[in-house]
Amino acid sequence: MIGRRHFTIGMGALGLSACTNTFPGGTSAPAALPDDLRPVRDAGYDAWLAAFRGRATARGITPATVDRAFRSAGFLPGAITRDRNQPESSRTLEDYLSIAVSDERVAKGRAAYARNRAVLSTLEARYGVDPTIVTAVWGLESFYGERRGNVPVIAATSTLAYEGRRAAFFEQQLMAALRILQNGDITPEGMTGSWAGAMGHTQFIPTSYEAYAVDFNGDGRRDIWSDDPSDALASTASYLARSGWTRGVRWGQEVTGGGAGGTILQPQAGGPRFAVTGNFRAIKRYNNSDLYAIGVGHLADRIGGAGPLRGSFPPDANGLTKNDRITLQQRLTARGFDTGGADGVLGNKSRAAISAYQTRTGQAVTGEPSLALLRSLG
């Protein structure tokens, strides 16, 4: 079975504008893209592409498909930058769930579940996968279709195949993307996704698309990009079913006290514990991360009507609880320092706000939260 390489959790996807501008050399890119994700001319990329054409045609890609695919593609410097600068994840489970299972994501998930209930019920009957799990994957991957990404996939995968640190992997993805185009499932202009080539409502990479994508609505195309999410949801159910999902078995559950059987996980010291099943491992075939799989499972439970986790999390390394961090963000915002929201997750905007406040008040500028900082804000 083909493993799925995962690049986002659906919280940082790019804008969705499909407007097109022309660039030097005849390349084009959606207007909403950052400048570094717009195609530019690059002599090394052009030489690589000339050699790649031979490899592609030798593997059954027609010259016409290659020509059509690369008519508006080009080198994306931002894909290289992002690939080289992916930070190691140090997010705690508490912070992860604050974002992945936010009140907004739960509310929108319940609405999306209700709106697509007929399709999801059919998929449950066909594949045996809990429809709330399918909905939760959709929610984490693209915020229920709101953030599908608008980077041209041919440009992204060819750029990373040319100069990326995982060149062989991305050339495999590029070959698969060309086969998808040749099959007629989508046009080059419609084949958009993340900077790393993950596509559609549930962010399939091209090889996973080839292996698992489904034409649910019977129109002859496996269209995971359409505003209609049916094919994408069916493809996700197909993926999970073929990854070992067992019908009628939960992903797992939070446990309190002792006596729970099976595999017990406690991703954050002092935080909640979870008893997980084989279906948890099926979710991890989609993204090999315990935090991701717990996020999907807990979001699915919340979409299905369950409440928040019962267990609590300990204070962070700075002695702050989540409520403390929310209060800190709220007080900074009230004083005119933009933290980007008050969710208790202290990211770059919150740290910049702390630094700005420290500068204005004559404190040592560290950008770090603390109980003393919280007290100084009143």
Instruction: State the average pLDDT over residues 77-100.
Output: 88
AA letter at 149: G
What pLDDT does residue 315 have?
Answer: 96
Q: Is the CB of residue 323 less than 8 Å from the CB of residue 336?
A: no
Q: Which of 180, 194, 160, 188 is nearest to 48 (CA)?
A: 160
Asked if pLDDT for residue 360 goes beyond 90, the answer is yes
Asked if pLDDT for residue 133 goes beyond 60, the answer is yes
Q: Which residue has the tokens 């929610």?
A: 139
Asked if pLDDT for residue 27 goes beyond 60, the answer is no
For the stretch 234-279, pLDDT in tens is 999 999 999 999 999 999 999 987 766 679 999 999 999 999 999 9
Instruction: State the average pLDDT over residues 318-327.
Output: 96
Q: Which of 71, 209, 235, 275 is nearest to 138 (CA)?
A: 235
What pLDDT does residue 86 have?
Answer: 73
Range name among 29-43, 174-188, 214-228 with the lowest pLDDT average: 29-43
What pLDDT does residue 260 have?
Answer: 64
Whether pTM exceeds 0.95:
no
What pLDDT does residue 89 have?
Answer: 63
Asked if pLDDT for residue 92 goes beyond 70, the answer is yes
What pLDDT does residue 13 have?
Answer: 35
Q: Which of 223, 244, 42 is nearest to 148 (CA)?
A: 223
Q: What is the CA radius of gyration of the chain?
A: 22
Q: What's the mean per-residue pLDDT of the chain?
A: 90
For the stretch 99-131, pLDDT in tens is 999 999 999 999 999 999 999 999 999 999 999
